[in-house]
Chain A
Amino acid sequence: MFRKAVGHIISCKDASRLVSRREEAPLTAWQRLVLRLHLSVCAACTRFEKQIAFLRDAMRQYRQ
């Protein structure tokens, strides 16, 4: 219950922006914390995170 509440300090919309921004620049300690808590309770954003990582791999492959 507590974990769930803490995980929702940020919305999925905010989490998706942090996941994307992390590709360009390191997040602040606070951003890392709230993102980690959110991902620990959110299956959809965990999926999104994996898809963004895949997109990066796919673009690398595109160049190969």
Chain B
Amino acid sequence: MAAADLSRDLEPQRGYLLRVARLQLRDEALAEDVVQETLLAALAGSGFSGKSSLRTWLTGILKHKIVDAIRKKQREPTVAAAFGDVESEMDIEDFDAMFNERGGWDPKPAEWGNPQDALNQRQFLDVMDICLEKLPPNTARVFVMREVMELETDEICKELTISANNLWVILYRARMALRVCLEQNWFART
């Protein structure tokens, strides 16, 4: 792909990259920087073969930039504090409130009909954004690393220095919270 074509194709991806970076970093200025670096690296490099989609390729570059940014942040204690306490997000007991004392659902998950239909609707992705933003910061970061950027679990554990068990608990919490949020704000609307 010629450089001029590439730069024209990159612009529409900016919004998506920024959304992912914001969810991971919770810092507007830093997210802008990381996306800028990603786009520059994309223009400078010749890694795009056209075999994967442009977005998948950009997500791969963004992943490295975000991991670098997180590493840098972790070395600055004052900034690290603003990230919040990972420990407090790992308490699984919170979600016991979704079950009765015998471990049964209370309330039960609702019927979602044909959820696949929602995927074609722009507004659904907006609701998804809102639900992701409502997650505690570290929970959102881990979930996006896993489900959007498709990092392997051991990679995530290494980058964030958490155990596999902590990771499972965080992802479980993220899924439980997103499920309830989507149910309340999308599937139960009608």
Contact = CB atoms under 8 A, between A and B. Distances in A.
Nearest to A21: B168
**Interface footprint category on A:** 20 to 34
A16 B96 contact: no
Contact of A20 (B103, B112, B119, B168): B168
Contacts of A60: 147
Q: Which of A59, A60, A64 has the most CB of B within 10 A?
A: A59
Contacts of A59: 147-148
Nearest to B20: A63
B179 A48 contact: yes
B59 A47 contact: no
The B interface, classified by DSSP as helix, strand, loop or mixed, is helix
B116 A11 contact: no
The A interface, classified by DSSP as helix, strand, loop or mixed, is helix
A24 B168 contact: yes
Nearest to A51: B179
A57 B172 contact: no
A39 to B, nearest CB: 13
B115 A51 contact: yes
B109 A55 contact: no
Contact of A12 (B55, B59, B104, B116): B104
A11 B99 CA distance: 10
B153 A25 contact: yes
Interface string A1-42: 000000000011110110011011100000000000000000
